[in-house]
Chain A
Amino acid sequence: MRTHTEILRDFESIAGPIGPHAEVLREYADKLQEWDEFFAKAFYDRLFSYDPTASIFRDGERTEREETLKIWYRKVVSGEYDDTFWEWQFRRVGLVHVARGIPNEFMLAAMAFVQNVFLMKVKDEFPPDEAARIYLAFKHVTDAIATIIAAGYMYTYLEAVSESTGMSLKLIERHAKLVAQREYADGKSE
């Protein structure tokens, strides 16, 4: 299984380094962290307004989830990321999502929503040049997080199948490749 460090290195090699964007967020962190309540409300208003995402949550869970999201948001806009932060996104969030049946498409759509809300807010609160700079920084960091979470979900899922069945990850990958190659070949011949 690949590690979060390897996935992060791939992300930075392909999409660009996180460091300069983290620096921008650090510069504005005090102001951006004030928006945690606004974010938590907007995020869960959206998730609770759509049945497939609303059904993931237990009754009375919203307050607890909002508090967790506020902590996550403040951490993201702090611009301070250590290895524990990325490992948490990779392992812990992946585990929670698999355990609760939250597929990657929900997470990616929710992250897109967070980025859109942030863009609207930052445009309202900052002059255009600054807003663009802050938004790009936030988008880059949250894109990295989404990449890590998506990979964490997939590897957690595969490890669970491997643990349960005794099939190695290489054997599972072999099955996936054989089916994909066959379906691709069938598609080409149609």
Chain B
Amino acid sequence: MDSLKALLEDLIHRTPEVYGVILVTTDGFPVSYAFRGSVDQAEIDKQAAVIASLASLARRSTESMDLGSPEEILITAEMGRMFVYRLEDIAALGVVTAKDVTAGFVLLRIRQMLPVLMEEFKNTLNPGG
């Protein structure tokens, strides 16, 4: 779990526009997270369930439209943006950013991290390989 947290903290450290990032299981439990500043554990639990739900809803919607599985969900809110990624069928990642973010740059950083994160997560699920 430390290696997962290190990856998430590294993303925040290298990308000032990223406020927070949560890795969750598909059934809505937080696996690891990193935020600028402190965040209440109850809020993390709630966000984890919501992020997993967004990933599920997006998949149901895109598959119903014959678009295949969703790669990325972008929500633009009044004060920021949220990106949600479904990581195969075992996890989802929520990334909270500033609103005036240069989306391409942040997306590149996130997308570069995803395969590494996925590999680490699989290792934590199955440490023996």
A residues contacting B by CB (< 8 A) are 164-168, 170-171, 174-175, 178, 182
Contacts and interface: CB of A to CB of B under 8 A. Distances in A.
A167 B46 contact: no
Nearest to A166: B60
B42 A174 contact: no
A168 B86 CA distance: 14
A166 B59 contact: yes
A168 B55 CA distance: 11
Interface of B: 26-29, 42, 45-46, 49, 52-53, 56-57, 59-61, 63
A183 to B, nearest CB: 12
B56 A166 contact: yes
A168 B56 contact: yes
B60 A171 contact: no
Contacts of B57: 165-167
B60 to A, nearest CB: 3
Contact of B49 (A165, A166, A178): A178
Given A165-B60, A171-B56, 7 more contacts: A167-B56, A168-B26, A168-B56, A171-B27, A171-B49, A175-B49, A178-B49
Contact of A174 (B49, B59, B60, B63): B49
A171 B51 CA distance: 11
Contact of A175 (B26, B53, B59): B53
B53 A167 contact: yes
A-B pairs with the 8 shortest C-beta distances? Answer: A166-B60, A170-B27, A174-B28, A166-B56, A167-B56, A171-B28, A171-B27, A174-B49
B47 to A, nearest CB: 10
A167 to B, nearest CB: 5
Contacts of B46: 178
